[in-house]
Amino acid sequence: MPNLRTASFVLAALVLPGLVLPGLQAQVPVKDAAELRKQLDRLQVVGSVLYVAAHPDDENTGLLAALSKGRNLRTAYLAITRGGGGQNLIGPELGDGLAAIRTQELLAARRIDGAEQFFTSAVDFGFSKTAAESLRIWNHDRVLGDVVRTIRAFRPDVIITRFPPDERAGHGHHTASAMLAIEAFKAAADPARYPEQIQAGLRPWQATRLLWNHFRFSDDAPKPAPGSLRFQVGSYDPLLGRSYGELAAESRSQHRSQGFGVLAQRGEREESFELLAGKPAREDLFDGVDLAWSRFKGTEKVAEALKETRAANPVDRPGSLRPWLLRALRELRALPADLQREPLIQAKTAEVEEALRMALGLWVEAIADRQQVSPGGPLTVNAAVLPRSGEPLSLQSLRLEAVGPQGVQTLEDRADGQALADNTPRKAAFTLTLPKDTRLTQPHWLGGPGAAAWAGLPESPAPLRLRVRLASPSAPADAFDVCVPVQYRFRDPVLGERYQPLAVVPPALVALGDPVLVFEGAGAKPLRLKIVAGAAGATGRVRLPAPKGWQVEPAEQPFQLRQMGEERELAFRVTPPAGTASAELRPEVDAGSGFAPARSLLKLDHPHIPLQTLLPEVKVRLERFDLKHNGHRIGYVMGAGDEIPQALRRIGYEVELLSDEALAREDLARFDAIVLGIRAYNTRPALLSLKDRLHAYVAAGGTEVVLYTVNTGFPDINAAMVTDAIGPYPFKVGRKRITDETVPVRFLQPGHSVFHWPNELTARDFEGWIQERSLYHAEGWDARYTPLLGMADPGEAADNGALIVAQHGKGTYVYTGLAFFRQLPDGVPGATRLFANLLALGHAHD
């Protein structure tokens, strides 16, 4: 998890005396004696490095681990985006939901490799072929300002990019990330650039050098040019019992949504670097950089105290380090105010406090009696403080705090002053009514509270936290604080003890059965929604303001819910205009404080990351267009996960999800068409043998539609295809994609039934598509396939592999890279009509 020492330069109100544990949202375990020794080693080194790339999973985890764990440098990764424009191998989440997952995957990776994590405000809008497009869509000046702010706040000695600033980067986002780093390297040192940051308290900063970390994704990749800087990342660390390559593999394997589980590399491995800006280096990345405390005048006593602490480290009695660590903390607090504002000094202060907690075996927790609460609702927080070192320690106070963008509010402060018994928990219960102005737990980067105050941080701080003040009985003036987030703890019958972040939600939530309502004619349709009580005794009204030309009846309805979690379904009728139309319906809720946009509750629960609670505003897309379909019974072979089955059901299809057993044993002839969802051939190993049964189904007269799969070319990563023979005749899955969803599309076979039955298609059916047109096209296909669509991104040659069909026996086989997984769930009319025609190919000549 990120730590509040990284937050300190963003929100001054969070820079409070004392230890803030490195979890904004999660409980942090006490580490062992070997980790304590690593922490003491780290305290001797005063230097920092910032790594810059475009997406989650772009970072070089081997280099991050070697810099953080090996060289003991403060190390951070700045990801320009959160990766919401990519695909998802572990579920149906896309967009904001995927961005939340990938943010947490980065934080899971950082907990392993020891680096910190930052972001800019740029949104991942999908694959981009040019840096110019990326910078235009991101808003170059704003995102450059984000990078400049991070550099000025973090003040790295060295900055490293993952990618070069040219087409070798292979992706417009990649190239743009390097270009931004180069520009920010100079702009961060210029007080005339982004002067509002200077006025807010940041200072100009000139890093010593900017380097490009050559990327070599295989051992047979081209060797770096002579004279390149080299850095060993394969060393073994006896304290960790692992090499940095092994740490790197575990770290990188946290990117599960992208299928980036990797094998560990053991043995020597070098990274190489090329100077992009700044002072050249001859031997080492940090040539000419003072990495000792001597870089800061007046810190001699701090350096001496930390050196003596390291020398005194007893592995079997770490608690005896308490006097040395308290002395180091005292010397740090005695530094002049200007030095205490230095990010490196702040980081080292937090590291001393964390070492103190480790040495004392100190466990502090704050456990809520429920996972979900609403402003104004009741809450009990059970606190416990447990020292386990045998060293005397007294508890001075317990303070429950609410954390908001404007600062920290004390909810209850209890003095204590009593000695703590070793290995015996001191418990206390706080029973309170949550203030009505407590912020909701919508992430700040998704429009929740704190968008400005916490800009650049990976996640918002927990809404509530416990601050515990402790001291040595012999030196009460040397008190130190430990802060932990308030969390919910429960027993999972399989996984055991689990923690979840406390979620603050509205008193009344709205759940939609379907966020899209499609009208195939002029008749009205019901819209059903559920009101869900986020708190007991939720009462109020729901209204649906009708878009122009549409009618909603009734306009509003009351609700009354007695218990938290209670649901009530409300039915409305929506009447469309007479002709083709699109609109958006935004429900509003009044739960006693006036009408406000309705919010839904979206929980992202995956075992490798903490539970994520999102509170998106409720929106219903309304689409009125002509739609016909023939062939109603569809079998669906789910792949990595998508929402196409729900999209098909909403327009009248019967969709049955097919297991491997069903594919192997059941009569497939009962289906009018069978669809293989996105990346099915990456995620369903049984298809290696079951593909033959699918092709036999086609030969007997069925229709098989295969949505895109990914051929990585690397059999050990990204869930390689289970077989290359996915069609009845040979073809290959390539890497070609059309990223501009607005480009015109040519009908290569205008007379083909796919363009005429049951829906008559025109060029207008390719308008209004979202994010991207097509990806992972077919190539090298057998002559028995017919390509149907031609398209090209601006400035590129046309490609015909987005949609190919073949007659096989009595039936039809289809492979398509068209981005139906984005279009159909969003109700895009033309894409829906085209897909209906594909499903009807088996009936085109009935």
Predicted confidence (pLDDT) per residue in 413-455, tens digit = 999 889 999 999 999 999 999 999 999 999 999 999 999 999 9
**pLDDT for the residue numbered 381:** 98
Given a contact cutoff of 8 angstroms between Cβ atoms, the answer to whether 77 and 103 are in contact is: no
- Other C-beta atoms lying within 10 Å of the C-beta of residue 490: 10
- Cα 752 to Cα 67, 694, 760, 806, distances in angstroms: 59, 24, 11, 12
CB 216 within 8 A of CB 269: no
Pick out the chain residues at pLDDT < 70.
1-28, 216-222, 713-719, 844-846
Instruction: Write 26-33 long-range contacts (CB < 8 A, 24+).
Output: 26/1, 26/485, 26/487, 26/499, 26/501, 26/610, 27/365, 27/484, 27/485, 27/487, 27/499, 28/1, 28/484, 30/357, 30/358, 30/361, 30/362, 30/363, 30/388, 31/358, 33/315, 33/316, 33/318
Instruction: Please report, rounded to a whole number, the percentage of residues in the chain having pLDDT higher than 70.
Output: 95
pLDDT in tens, 353-392: 999 999 999 999 999 999 999 999 999 999 999 999 999 9
Report the C-alpha gap between 511 and 561 in whole angstroms.
15
Contact partners, residue 473, CB within 8 Å, separation at least 6: 392, 393, 394, 419
Question: If you search the block for the tokens 């991070």, which residue do you land on?
Answer: 150
User: Where do runs of H (alpha helix) occur along 46-168?
Assistant: 61-65, 95-113, 131-138, 140-154
Q: Which pLDDT score is estimated for 12?
A: 33
Instruction: Tell me the H-state helices in 188-321.
Output: 195-199, 244-252, 300-311
Whether the Cβ atoms of residue 576 and residue 624 lie closer than 8 Å to each other: yes
Dihedral sign, Cα of residue 649, residue 833, residue 137, residue 165:
positive
Q: Which two tokens stand for residue 183?
A: 């520009």
Cα–Cα distance for residue pair 648/55, rounded to 1 Å = 32
pLDDT of residue 26: 57
Q: What pLDDT score does 273 carry?
A: 97
Whether this prediction's pTM lies above 0.85 is answered by yes
Query: Residue with structure tokens 């997952």?
Result: 101
Q: CB–CB of 503/556 below 8 Å?
A: no
The predicted pLDDT at position 25 comes to 55
> Which residues on adjacent β-strands are paired with residue 532?
509, 567
Q: How far is CA 768 from CA 201, 764, 773, 798, 828, in A?
A: 45, 9, 10, 21, 7
The DSSP 8-state label assigned to residue 818 in this structure reads B
Write down the residue that tokens 């230095």 correspond to: 342
What's the whole-number average pLDDT of the chain? 93
453 conformational bin, left if phi > 0, alpha if psi -120 to 50, beta if neither: alpha
Which helix (H) or strand (E) is 509 found in, with range? Answer: strand 508-512
- 319, 359 in Cβ contact below 8 A? yes
Q: Phi first, then psi: give them for residue 703, nearest 5 degrees.
A: -120, 125
